[in-house]
Chain A
Amino acid sequence: MTAGFGSGKPAGANRPERRGWLFLRRGLPLVTALASLLGLCLLWQVAAGIWPSRAFPPPVDVWRVLTRDAANGELAYHLAMTLWRVAAAYAGAMVVGSVIGVLLGMHRRADMFFNPWLVLFLNLPALVVIVLAYIWWGLTEAAAVGAVAINKIPNVVVTMREGARALDARFTEMASVYRLTPLDQVRHVLIPQLQPYFAAASRSGIALIWKIVLVVELLGRSNGVGFQIYLYFQLFDVAAILAYSLAFVAIMLLIEIFLVQPFERHATRWRRRPA
């Protein structure tokens, strides 16, 4: 846009320059990331050319599997199954973990009593929880999602408990003097203070959950990315294994960039502008 340059107003003249600068600042990390990934692909291609092996297919083979399964709908189906399990387990773990965490953070005695339980669950291996869940509740969808949620809940509890401990008493007192309704207190006083902790729990949560979901699918489901990986492991089809994992990683990245980050920017907009 060159329109601004002709005008005598300094503010108007500044704008296109600033916009260009902003574009550069936002665009540069993206370009760098793309170049970096491209470099990795090239390295992979070269390495696969030097040591040709069925166990180490070049990226072109992976791409071929990806397009094949994308065309026949297999890829979308299994990705969707895994994605819905991730979403369900995530939602369950965040809700249950947040409620327990906030309650423990606010009530010191309850916290002292339940802390050993928390330590126990924190250190229970994911595999044990999954196996027990399948034994007790059968090879069902509920057992699968529940097992994943139970693995994540203790982490959420710990983070949210810290958040509840850090609540500012001045806001609570203000809310009490002005007789805010319980709903308003939760919406306007409690949740905004807990938001950074919620964001932290949710970031580490999504990454952990989707990895556990694959294990759950491998052990007791007949669809999903985990199941496909298990299947191709038995067929020794490394290209397919890589195709499915990379596709899912890409989806999780897109969720991070287009869902999580914009939401965080919105939730912390009051911090961004300097005084």
Chain B
Amino acid sequence: MQPVGAAAPLKVDIREKTFRSAEGVTLVALEGLSFEVRQGEFACLFGPSGCGKTTTLRILMGLDRQFSGKVQLPEGGSNRVAAVFQEPVLLPWRTVEQNVRLALPRNMRDADLGHLFDLLGLSGLEALYPSELSLGLARRAALARAFAIEPALLFLDEPFASLDEPTADRLRHLLMRVWSARPTTALMVTHNLREALLLADRIVVLSPRPAHVAGIFDVCISRHSRDAQALDDLVSEFRMRFPDEV
């Protein structure tokens, strides 16, 4: 139980989510999946490929309402939600800056974004169209859009998928820098264990389908000291606790 006053901004309690295929076969994707993400925490949803991580995220983002159970998102004040999708999903007919500003609520449209663009290495690229950016830069723009709205909750759906490893690694560190500058309650979906161990405060480990929480793994070392050696230790510690996870 959480102490009073530290209400978790995100409470998930999904009883069941089923898919019905075109041939009428039902497939139980999620069953009895419940967890919380605490205020200011960076949590990762980790599990084998195809176990329903993205399905869970879609439910949380309000894109899929066909499920039984309850999801509690932040209420009152700034209850804005931001998302970084598997693909950048930038509007190709708007410039980088227009794409970011468009996500801002009306009263923040004129906000100064210079610092954020600077932090993400996008300075000078504001007037370009997404088709003129590399995939890595487009993802930075997607991150800029997510952080610009100062969300109460940030969802990331494998935001570094289909990038080459050095680029992905640079972006992970960039993400950490922006996140430290603007701490935000965040939930990231990933099937990359090292990525999860590098970024997260807590890892919610999912079971194979139908997905439920197999366990929680707290990453207790501070982010600065998570170098290659520390990550190796974390990986073996993780494997000891969850021998079934790939």
Chain A interfacial positions (CB closer than 8 Å to B): 170-171, 173-174, 176-181, 184, 188-189, 192, 195, 270-271, 273-275
Whether A270 lies near B82 (C-beta < 8 A) is: no
Contacts of B106 in A (CB 8 A): 181
Give Cα A170 to B89, complex, Å.
7
Whether A192 lies near B81 (C-beta < 8 A) is: no
**Cβ-defined partner of A188 (8 Å) among B94, B129, B132, B155:** B94
State the main secondary structure of chain A at its contact with B: helix
Contacts of B91 in A (CB 8 A): 171, 188-189, 192
Which of chain A's residues has its CB closest to B95's CB? Answer: A270
Contacts of A180 in B (CB 8 A): 102-103
Contacts of A275 in B (CB 8 A): 131-134
Q: A177-B63, A192-B93 are in contact. List 5 more A-B contacts (CB 8 A).
A: A170-B87, A173-B61, A178-B82, A179-B80, A270-B93
Say yes or no: A188-B102 contact (C-beta < 8 A), given A173-B63, A177-B61, A177-B81: yes
Say yes or no: A178-B103 contact (C-beta < 8 A), given A171-B89, A188-B91, A189-B91: yes
Quote the shortest CB–CB distance from B141 to chain A (angstroms): 13
Which of chain A's residues has its CB closest to B83's CB? Answer: A177
Contacts of B80 in A (CB 8 A): 179
Quote the shortest CB–CB distance from A122 to chain B (angstroms): 31
Name which of B61, B102, B129, B145 has the most chain A CB atoms within 10 A of its CB.
B102
Asked if B62 CB lies within 8 Å of chain A CBs, one says yes
Whether A273 lies near B63 (C-beta < 8 A) is: no
17 contacts between A and B (CB under 8 A): A170-B87, A173-B61, A173-B89, A174-B83, A177-B61, A177-B62, A177-B81, A177-B83, A178-B82, A178-B102, A178-B103, A178-B149, A181-B106, A188-B98, A270-B92, A270-B93, A275-B132
Quote the shortest CB–CB distance from B240 to chain A (angstroms): 37
Contacts of A178 in B (CB 8 A): 82-83, 102-103, 145, 149
Whether B63 lies near A270 (C-beta < 8 A) is: no
Contacts of B87 in A (CB 8 A): 170
Contacts of B85 in A (CB 8 A): 170, 173-174
Minimum-distance CB pairs A-B, first 8:
A192-B93, A178-B103, A270-B129, A177-B83, A270-B93, A174-B89, A170-B89, A177-B61
Which of chain B's residues has its CB closest to A185's CB? Answer: B102
Whether B131 lies near A273 (C-beta < 8 A) is: yes
Which of chain B's residues has its CB closest to A267's CB? Answer: B93
Contacts of B149 in A (CB 8 A): 178
Contacts of B94 in A (CB 8 A): 188, 192, 270
Whether B129 lies near A177 (C-beta < 8 A) is: no
Quote the shortest CB–CB distance from A69 to chain B (angstroms): 45
